[in-house]
Structure 1
Amino acid sequence: MLVMNATPTDVEVSDDDFNNMDFAQMLEVYNYDEPTRGQILTGTVLEVRRDEVILDVGLKRDAIVTRKDITRLPENYLDSVKPGMEMPIYVLRPYDEDGELVVSINKALELEDWKLAQEYLDNDTTTEARVVDVNKGGMLVRFHRLMGFVPNSHIESIPSGVSPSRLREVKDELVGKTLQLKVIQVEQARNRLILSERAARRDARSERLQELEAGQVVTGRVVNLTNFGAFVDIGGVDGMIHISNIDHRHVAHPADVLSVGDEVKVRIDSIDVDRERIALNRKAILPDPWDAFIEAYNPGDLMEGLVTNVVDFGVFVAAPSGAQGLVHTSRMENLGASTPADMFREGDAVLVRIVGIDPERKHIELSVDDVTVAEQEEWLFRRREAEGTGEEIPNASASQAIVDADEAPDAAVDTVDTGEDTVVAE
């Protein structure tokens, strides 16, 4: 029987002569291709020992996998290696000092991984890899049996705007996590495998954008808050809720309503696929506070509200339902303040009277002047009782100022004692 990797000699040998040869003579009549370092052979497992594996590769000597190579194999891999199974092996040393053919299972498997990496690069395939370490320049990831590298510029999991002093801390938090990546460079000769999370995310975003439509209501997670709005991840792509579309009531800062990590339901208002921009709207799917306000109040009613915005021409006050009305400066003259900002602050509680409701325009006209001092006193009394229970309540400095002003003596009036009745002198 001919053995693998052997070719017959050019010398003609008769069947009778061949049958009469011993094994040593048989070896002489065959030419063998001498293995070279780096060559991949196919071996058949003959024996599996604790510190070595012996394989038949069809040459004069069997191939040996050393203990050093075995220790580099994946955990429990050797348990799957059984006599009779075939596997690719990598030639480390054609013949060592003892004349043995030293091969590596691990190196052969790595070569298969290099081929796979090249296929992923050629086919623009997205893969998964686990972060095993980080350094100043980026992250080290495990690509099957190879170590790959993701440069900082290709890490999307780092939020934008992270300061250099926190960059290492943020990257350390990624160790152990599995990321979606694209192979962007393969140089086996230089042992160089570069991957990109940014490229993988870009493709995922493109696919996700094609799935979304304006008008859809989706659920997402708040990932960042800025002065002008909130960014929400809606399944692999981020959209932004402008501050004006976060809530029906006035929002000074998105953090007053939302927190990073919150799950929110939003409506998609518009999608710009080319610029990868999505405008989201939370306010549009919230109950309209106007409906609750109309059911609860009528013109002439007193209303306790919170100041939501202070402007030169008045203050905006939110009803408990969230609907907002305006107290114009002409309806707060009893306060004696030169500007609304002298008396009101955002978040202050205030007692006002509803003097006008325009259902068509959804406008509410409010007044401080039309609230009597007695009504202000009664309201403040109830608030003081609430304070006694430990309940946290907003400041009500404007109403307190009205009451204080009413109780203060009139400094412009003098009295004259005539000895009988007291006369007021003007």
Structure 2
Amino acid sequence: MTNEEHLEKNLEVNETSEETQNEKYSEGDTVTGKVSKIEEKFVEVMLEDGVVGIVPISQLTSKRIETTDEAATLDQDVTAKVIKVEDNTTLILSIRQYDNEATYKELQSQKDNDDTISATVIEVVPAGLVVDVGVRGFIPASLISTEYVEDLTQFDGQTLDVKIEDVDVEKNRVILNRRKLEEKSQHEERLKVLDELVVGDIVKGEVVRTTNFGAFINVNGVDGLAHISELSYERVENVEDAVTIGETLNVKVLSVDPETERISLSVKQAGESPFQKFFNEHQTGDSVKGTVKRLVDFGAFVEVAAGVEGLVHVSEISHDHVGHPEDELKPEEEIDVKIIGFDPDKEKTSLSIKALKEKPKNDTKQKNATVYSDSDEESLTLGDILGDKLKKLDL
């Protein structure tokens, strides 16, 4: 055998040996080795069995790099995935794919455990924030904060705490949520505020929103509702007539429900009631001016001070018999009345018109004045209500 024939045979053996070595590798295999050469567009990796693999620059890392030496050094330990076997002689490897699969697996585990992770913002786009969590992730604008964020560039370069919303390996997609952490923090803060509030306390609050049924007032970061009936002792037709958005005022805590995170507040009860003021300034027997506000079957309600109405019972309108209050009085009519009784506990005032008028000489009956109570309405019968009306019809 000549020398040329001997060399040719050795080459055939080497090629066959190399083919045999590479035939044991398939796409998707995980391999380990060390970086043996760094070129401009690729890196060579010497595997543990002596086989050489090629890692293109695009497969070195998921980060953006310009040169291979930004992501590789000589003798660096490498774990990679086989992404292609060319002609049974060349292995194309991907460090990026191996790292990504490991990262996705870790992210899924963190999602299942509801872990909080850190994400570094690498790009701001109109729809949200592109972040680095080992792989590229995305925080949609709607999941950045509980409040609307107009300028997203304020987050550029920041490292944010986030929750993992979705992991999709096939689509290389990771959706993250920062708003959820804000909601949790705000929930804990609200519970703390609710725990510190005491029913009956007078606290300061800011009107933040109005509706047709009341006003929402922020107390120490938590919104409470003051029903329209609790805005003023005077009758309130429109909430905006009683309070203004942005106004700071004292409110009384009526109830606190930690489970529903609801607070009931009262603006009117935070100050001295008009009745208490009127009661302190007057006494039984005083004569005052008033305005007829409402006529009912059993009498007339007369406003004697702002927010203070007293009842003139039908029996106290005139010394003569009065079947229907509207026969003697008209709404908004100004009249003189005498205070004949107070009920401080129920904040009620009883008034009389006839007590200011001279009693007819032929009236010899003596009547004791009584303070109006809820039982006056309850004691009325259908006959009391309809009797005089039927008499008018001569039935």
Task: Compute the TM-score of the two structures, normalised by the length of structure 1.
Answer: 0.45
User: Which structure has the larger Rg?
Assistant: 2
* TM-score, L = length of structure 2: 0.48
